[in-house]
Amino acid sequence: MPNFDYDLFVIGGGSGGVRAARMAAQRGARVGLAEVGALGGTCVNVGCIPKKLYSYAAHYAAAFEESRAYGWDFDGLRFDWARLKANRAVEITRLNGIYAGLLKSSGVTVLNGWASLADGHTVEVDGKRLTAQHILLATGGRPSVPDVPWRDQVLVSDDMFDLPTLPRRLLVVGGGYIASEMASIFHGLGAEVTQVLRGGTLLRGFDADISTFLAAEMRKTGVQLRLNTQVSGLARHGESWTAQLKTDDDTVSLPVDAVLYATGRTPRSAGMGLAEAGVQLDENGAVVVDARYASSLPSVFALGDVTNRLQLTPVALGEAMALVDDLFGPARGKPVRHMAYEYIPTAVFTHPNVGTVGFTEAEAREEFGAVDVYRSEFKVLKHTISGSTERTLVKLLVDKASDRVVGLHMVGPDAGEIVQGFAVALKAGATKAVFDQTIGIHPTLAEEFVTLREPLP
């Protein structure tokens, strides 16, 4: 048997890579990990964590205003962008340190540098060659900007957390969850935000009712949402821009101070020698893997965003644990874990939030045929006197044949927190009868999900 330097070598120190390295080392494997940037990957450094922190910050302006109806008065309020950035940086540095500490305490050797693949058992890190029985690619993804003449001058989502100043007028290009979140966040922080998308649907791929409802609610908050619109020109004037926004009927000029393209993400696979070593990539640069996360080179594995399956941190974590169990055996007394991709909950931290798990209505009808749809739209108790016009939408999809709840969707406050609990029920196969038999907590928004009685005609 060859004498390798490591049993497992991980390229990428994001959520999936760190989890796989730690778990493998705890099984007694000799593990190395290479990361060229800060530990924690996109989620910790320029994704989930700073985004949620900024989302919290953006809610305060509305909360202060709503509090007046509850007897509070505030004078002289102002927002300090620099203070938010500084406090975010402190927290992210703390998390980077936690990741480093976890790897060290697990016995993982961490190399700071760019890693590439020489062959199925060899990696090269800044000129140094190392061998491993198994190699894991966990390099994540990166923002993608379409091939427009100004692509090298615009901002991407990674840039938004540390801008020198808060833009007074922001143009957001894109209609997915990142674009919509950024539009909501920066509007809440005080910017005038225009969001444009080529298509006619916000959050394409989500339930149609959710997309339509969210668009209406975002417009009510003051986001200028322009559907079926393209940026046909972009000219810079010192520190500002003029954007030409084109629809089928008209072209308008829009002066802005910053332009964000949030038009998708692509797998981070370039410059690593993957194809040259024999790793198959798809047309988008994603590593093609089988059910065991093995690439076309049997000793090379990949998981997380670089495989372009579901770009969610918890998915990468689940894949990492399944892979480690497969390669090195489960933890003592535990069964082998497997990753299941159905009924994965997700949230979108727009204002208001979106939470969803299971099938959309269109998907459910295609999968099950006859489907009962339960839907309710209302103003939550808080806003009955707050003065806010925000409304909430909840929706259940039930397979008629089995009575199983196969989709649950929500637009409203704390949607992610609420849907997470219901995701357990859907994963367990709960029926509508079980929902009906469950006592609600009153008065709460969430009780609406267990008090829906009449399906739509």
As annotated, the active-site residues are 442
Q: Which two tokens stand for residue 188?
A: 């809440």
DSSP secondary structure letter of residue 304:
G
Q: How far is CA 378 from the centre of its chain?
A: 27
Q: What is the CA radius of gyration of the chain?
A: 24
Contact 259, 171 (CB under 8 A): yes
How far, in Å, CA of 14 to CA of 45, rounded? 9
- Residues 5, 306: contact at Cβ < 8 Å? no
Hunting for tokens 């199983």 — which residue is that?
404
Structure tokens of 263? 């038009």
Q: Cα separation of 162 and 93, whole Å?
A: 14
Cβ–Cβ contacts within 10 Å for residue 237, how many? 8
Identify the three-state secondary structure at position 381: coil
Structure tokens at 284: 């988008």
Q: Which residue has the tokens 């797998």?
A: 267
71-91 as b/e: b if 16+ CB within 10 A: eeeeeeeeeeeeebbeebeee
| Cβ contact 352:415 at 8 Å | yes
Question: Backbone phi, then psi, for 344, in 5-degree steps?
Answer: -90, 120
What element of type H or E holds 374?
Answer: strand 371-378
Rounded to whole angstroms, the Cα distance separating 369 from 323 reads: 35
With contact defined as beta carbons under 8 Å apart, do 406 and 399 qualify?
Answer: yes
**CA 456 to CA 451: how far, in whole Å?**
14
